[in-house]
């Protein structure tokens, strides 16, 4: 059995990790760590876990935890884990970090966008960006995984085949994205209380959202040239889900079938990416509580632009599910172990 510790187990992503790992036949969770609920039973914090997880929440202690587990999941605020990580921890346990601490390869870019000093940038060079469908071979031998953000997961996978094959103008990309409120986390904030969110929709972080450089870096690596995008996220009144609509200029007059063949080349054999039939476009409800990503596209012949639409659950494929997928790859397990969850509906 793989022994697991979870730092930040009482946040939304941490709770989703617990939910998924409780159904994983090769895993036992040894530590539920939380800053806010030390000494409380886990099912007191999340009553949906009643008679399922009655363990006591403990304080964060990565050094001691690493000596007793095989892998540590860190679902914490940005810059927290980078202030604690060290060689002793990584020599004893693998770490899958759900924050942004190790996602960006440029320290100055990280510190500019997150307005935080990075305390352990020496580990970024060895960290593997945990987008399983793209970096599977590197993930297999990694000891530190930078689990991608929710918006980047949906955005990068939407556009990666087009840029990798040189089908679109790299300078023409616009990404319009929507997120459910759980993406903001469990902490109380005026902007995410019921009366502020219900019956409303708003853009935020226009041209300044922290996920933009993450998306740009990965798409730049796909095409071999620096990319700058317009990325606009929106908050919508639903609990879960990421919905992205990406636009780009095509470099030639491609048919639907030609582009579909490109997507099939990259994703046809991927367990968690579902390419929909022509004329059928994703809905967040179709992937809710699952690790699936649904994707399709439309070619606008009038403007010779391609419009790519995709949907994921922000807490699963956009966070905890992808982290479990990465763990499975790292430990040589079936990639879908613990993740064969049928999306809930309605």
Which of these is catalytic: 57, 150, 154, 223? 150
| Position 301 confidence tier, pLDDT thresholds 50, 70, 90 | very high
- In contact, 82 and 116? CB cutoff 8 Å: no
Answer yes or no: 57 catalytic. Answer: no
Instruction: Tell me the pLDDT tens digit for each residue of 83-130.
Output: 999 999 999 999 999 999 999 999 999 999 999 999 999 999 999 999
Task: Identify the sign of the CA torsion 275, 276, 278, 281.
Answer: negative
Beta-carbon contacts of 240 under 8 Å, excluding residues fewer than 6 positions away, are: 180, 182, 284, 288, 289, 313, 314, 315
pLDDT digits (tens, 9 = 90+) for 221-256: 999 999 999 999 999 999 999 999 999 999 999 999
Give tens-digit pLDDT for 266-297: 999 999 999 999 999 999 999 999 999 999 99
CA dist., res. 101 & res. 119, Å (int): 9
Residue boundaries of the structural domains of the chain: 2-126, 151-313
Listed residue (265, 248, 258) closest to 308, CA to CA: 248
Task: Note the Cα 206 to chain centre separation in Å.
Answer: 20
Q: Please determine, for residue 185, whether its predicted confidence score (pLDDT) is greater than 90.
A: no
Query: What pLDDT is attached to residue 336?
Result: 97
Helix (H) or strand (E) holding 219: helix 211-223
Gap between the Cα atoms of 39 and 149, Å rounded: 30
Query: Which residues have CB under 8 Å from 224's CB, separation 6+?
Result: none
Separation of CA 4 from chain center: 19
Q: CATH: 3.40.50.10490, 3.30.565.10, 3.40.50.720, 2.60.40.1240. Which one for 2-126?
A: 3.40.50.720
What is the rounded CA–CA span in Å between residue 103 and residue 183? Answer: 18
| Cβ contact 29:4 at 8 Å | yes
**Arch. (CATH architecture) of 151-313:** 2-Layer Sandwich (3.30)
């Amino acid at each position: 059995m793989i022994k697991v510790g979870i730092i930040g187990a009482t946040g939304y992503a941490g709770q989703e990790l617990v939910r998924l790992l409780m159904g994983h036949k090769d895993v036992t969770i040894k530590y539920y760590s939380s800053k806010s609920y030390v000494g409380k039973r886990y099912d007191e914090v999340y009553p949906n876990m009643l008679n399922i997880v009655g363990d006591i929440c403990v304080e964060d202690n990565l050094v001691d935890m690493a000596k007793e587990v095989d892998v540590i999941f860190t679902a914490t605020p940005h810059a927290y884990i980078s202030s604690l990580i060290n060689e002793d921890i990584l020599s004893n346990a693998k770490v899958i970090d759900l924050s942004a601490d190790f996602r960006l390869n440029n320290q100055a870019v990280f510190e500019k966008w997150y307005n935080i000093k990075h305390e352990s940038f020496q580990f970024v060079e060895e960290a593997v960006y945990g987008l399983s469908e793209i970096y599977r071979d590197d993930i297999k031998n990694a000891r530190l995984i930078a689990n991608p953000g929710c918006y980047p997961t949906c955005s990068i996978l939407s556009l990666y085949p087009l840029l990798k094959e040189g089908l679109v103008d790299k300078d023409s990309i616009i990404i319009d994205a929507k997120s459910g409120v759980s993406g903001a986390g469990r902490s109380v904030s005026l902007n995410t209380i019921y009366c502020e969110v219900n019956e409303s929709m708003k853009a935020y972080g226009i041209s300044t959202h922290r996920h933009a450089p993450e998306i740009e870096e990965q798409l730049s690596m796909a095409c071999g040239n620096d990319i700058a995008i317009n990325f606009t996220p929106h908050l919508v009144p639903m609990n879960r889900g990421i919905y992205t609509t990406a636009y780009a200029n095509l470099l030639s007059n491609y048919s639907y079938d030609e582009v579909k063949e490109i997507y099939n080349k990259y994703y046809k054999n991927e367990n968690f990416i579902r390419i929909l039939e022509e004329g059928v476009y994703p809905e967040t409800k179709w992937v809710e509580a699952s690790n699936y990503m649904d994707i399709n596209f439309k070619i606008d012949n009038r403007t010779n632009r391609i419009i790519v639409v995709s949907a994921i659950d922000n807490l699963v494929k956009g966070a905890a599910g992808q982290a479990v997928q990465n763990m499975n790859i790292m430990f040589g397990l079936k990639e879908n172990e613990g993740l064969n969850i049928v999306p809930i509906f309605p």
